[in-house]
Amino acid sequence: MAEVALQGRDFAQPAITSRSKALAKLRLSDAVFFQLTRGSAIAVLIILSGIIASLLYGATPALRQFGFGFLVSERWNPVTENFGAAAPIYGTVVTSFIAMLIAVPLGLLIALFLTELCPMWLRRPIGIAVELLAGIPSIIYGIWGLFMFAPFLQRTLQPALIGVFGDVPVLSTLFAGPPYGIGILTAGLILAIMVLPFVTSISRDVFEAVPPVLKEAAYGIGCTTWEVFRRVVVPYTRVGVIGGVMLALGRALGETMAVTFVIGNAHRISGSLLAPGTTISATIANEFTEAVGDLYTSALIALGLLLFVITFIVLAAARYMLMRLERRIG
Amino acid sequence: MTLYSRRRGKNAVVLGLSVAATAIGLGWLALILGALIWEAFLGLSLQVFTEMTPPPGSAGGLLNPIVGSLIMTGLAVVIGTPLGMLAGTYMAEYGRHSRLTHVVRFINDILLSAPSIVIGLFIYEIFVYQVGHFSGWSGALALAVIVIPVVVRTTEDMLLLVPDTLREASASIGMPRAHMISHVCYRAASAGLITGVLLAVARISGETAPLLFTALNNQFFSFNLNAPMASLPVVIFQFALSPYKEWQALAWVGALIITFAVLALSIAARALGSKEPL
């Protein structure tokens, strides 16, 4: 009824005014929608700056108290409220390094297999499997690491390492001590499995972007598959591969749950890879809810700020490199 | 040995290594999933879905964390999706070549892979600390911050796939831009947009770190969003690290539920996304 009445009124009025009214209404809704979308885009920027600002604000008491010493001090004593970030930084860097040491060659070889060797019918299933596995939550890797992988390492790999390298000068300290099962090495290995799908899927995408003409030309003059890969594919995609590796590194540095389960959470820097340690994210996850006192909380937030800054730099570099490759391929 | 056979030998070695690497990678991951299924089926029963989390040393289920996870995930999607979609719309429709778009894209890509524990700290600072207590709301907010970049990314990508001829056609019949976007572009890209939301849900349903100090945990059944709320990942974390056999068994079951939920969501997203656009 109301609609009919409305239409009737519209007819009664001169056509010009109703038309301009409708147009004005449309123009208004258009402007509102535009501002809404623009505001949302800006909100994304605000969220990022909000993260940085809130972490800076929260970290200020600890940073003011300890200054630069926060970065280099190994002490972490909640009772005397004396905090230093050296042990978590060391753990984060070493576990990520172990992870990349294993995941990068493995991932590149798998990508080589997928792009050059794999029969067509198998390519899609393996590719999908890799991508699905990249989506499995890290807590699953953590629980597997704790109950299956760590006891396994404790029984097999770790005693073997201690036995084999026991008499070698440098390596004996690197693999010293009782086999705990959990520790820095175990965390590094779990991280390696976790980032493997990332390295693989990005390098595969990048390798597939190489123009077939280039590869065919190389095959045409008699190159072997390895030579084509080494001399044509890798040079062409180098920037992209490095970008992908750094993206995976960003993941490894910030990974929390998989590491927290198996690192042992011990605040000390030990020469041995078999000893328990801690990482920045594991420290925050383990201690934040139990932190009493403003300085303790602030020290943990300062750790978070540190982690964010490190990953931000790594990820920004990764994106920059991937963008450069994209631009070149067009 | 001739140069030719040396080259062939080298080639064979590397190719052999790459096959071995694939076998190791896939085998390793199969091992994890196998262990998960094996361990979890021992503890899987109807009880898991009907009973609350037990006190140490007795049997029980995972009803309250499952419900808590569903509530917080749902809220996070409701909060994060509109914002992400609108931002993605701006980037693909209005400011395709503007400076703002480039900056937002760069920042968004970084947020996409920023450590999730830092997002937990952020929400703790701006919400939990100000309010003075842990709550389901703060957990949902933390998850929403993770949803946004995923949705922004897929919305932009999917809208860019919509052919410009459609836009030109609707402009030529005098359609205002807002109408064109909502009635033509969104509709043409609808499968892709839903894919983005599904991917975002898959991403947050296993997130633990941002919930640890926002939603905390709750041993009891609760719909109260102003109180601490249980969630599946946090309960898994707590139970797995406990010394009690019953809790550890429940942690495995929870892990299996999450894995299956995530895999189902990713497969659904994939099936939807692989359909021909338009």
pLDDT in tens, A234-257: 998 888 888 889 889 998 998 888
Averaged pLDDT, B52-56: 84
Percent of chain B residues past pLDDT 70, beyond the cut: 98
Residue tagged 């993605």 (tokens): B88
Is residue A56 within 8 angstroms of chain B, CB to CB? no
Range B60-77 average pLDDT: 91
**What pLDDT shows up at residue B163?**
92
Which residues of chain A does B121 touch, with a Cβ-Cβ cutoff of 8 Å?
A: 54-55, 58, 284, 288, 300-301, 304
The pLDDT, as a whole number, for residue B278 is 38
What is the length of chain B?
Answer: 278
Give the closest residue to B154 by CA, choosing from B108, B116, B110.
Answer: B108
Alpha-carbon distance B189 to B55, whole Å?
48
Q: Residue A143: its chain B contacts at CB < 8 A?
A: 36, 236, 240, 251-252, 255
Q: Measured between CB atoms, does A296 come within 8 Å of chain B?
A: no
3-state SS track over chain B? CCHHHHHHHHHHHHHHHHHHHHHHHHHHHHHHHHHHHHHHHHHCCCHHHHCCCCCCCCCCCCHHHHHHHHHHHHHHHHHHHHHHHHHHHHHHHHCCCCHHHHHHHHHHHHHHCCCHHHHHHHHHHHHHHHHCCCCHHHHHHHHHHHHHHHHHHHHHHHHHHCCHHHHHHHHHCCCCHHHHHHHHHHHHCHHHHHHHHHHHHHHHHCCCHHHHCCCCCCCCCCCCCCCCCCCHHHHHHHHHCCCCHHHHHHHHHHHHHHHHHHHHHHHHHHHHHHCCCC
User: What per-residue confidence (pLDDT) applies to A2?
Assistant: 46
More reliable by pLDDT, B88 or A265: B88
Q: Does residue A12 surpass a pLDDT of 70?
A: no
Q: What is the pLDDT of residue A128?
A: 84
* pLDDT score for A112: 92
Burial (0-12, 13-18, 19+ Cβ within 10 Å), B218: buried
**pTM, rounded to two decimals:** 0.89
- Separation of CA A67 from chain center: 28
* Interface predicted TM-score (ipTM) of this complex, two decimals: 0.88
Nearest to B152 among A44, A250, A257 (CB): A44
CB atoms A224 and B202 under 8 Å: no
Give how far the C-alpha of residue B156 lies from the chain's centroid of Cα atoms, to the nearest Å: 18
- Cβ contact, residue pair B90, A38, below 8 Å: yes
B242: its two tokens: 């406990």
* Per-residue pLDDT tens digits for A196-224: 988 998 899 899 889 999 999 999 999 99
Mutation target vs B (from A23, A48, A191, A260; most B CBs, 10 A cutoff): A48
The yes-or-no verdict on residue B10 having pLDDT over 70 is yes
Distance, in angstroms, between A167 CA and closest chain B CA? 30
- Above pLDDT 90, what percent of chain A? 38
Q: Å from A169 to nearest chain B CA?
A: 31
- Of A30-39, B79-88, B208-217, which gets the smallest average pLDDT? B208-217
Is residue B276 scored above 70 in pLDDT? no
Q: A40: nearest CA in chain B?
A: B87
- The pLDDT tens digits for A158-177 are 888 888 887 777 777 778 77
Q: What is the mean predicted confidence (pLDDT) over A274-293?
A: 88
Q: Tokens for A291, please give them.
A: 């932190």
How close does chain B come to A168, measured CA to CA in Å? 28
State which residue of chain A sits closest to B177, comparing Cα positions: A30
Q: How far is it, in rounded angstroms, from Cα B59 to Cα B42?
A: 13
Residue A228 has pLDDT above 70, yes or no: yes
What confidence tens digit (pLDDT) does each residue in A264-277 have?
888 888 878 888 88
Across chain B, mean pLDDT equals 89
> What pLDDT shows up at residue A39?
95
For residue B213, pLDDT over 60 is answered with yes
pLDDT digits (tens, 9 = 90+) for A94-139: 999 999 999 999 999 999 999 988 888 888 888 888 888 888 888 9
Average pLDDT of the segment spanning B223-232: 87
pLDDT computed for residue A157 by the predictor:
85
pLDDT at B220 over 90: no
Binned at pLDDT 50, 70 and 90, residue A81 comes out as confident
What local confidence, expressed as pLDDT, does residue B277 receive? 43
Whole-number pLDDT of residue A116: 86
Is A117 in the B-facing interface, judged by CB distances under 8 Å? Answer: yes
Q: Give A15's pLDDT tier (boundaries 50, 70, 90).
A: low
Contact between chains at A33 and B178 (C-beta distance less than 8 A): yes
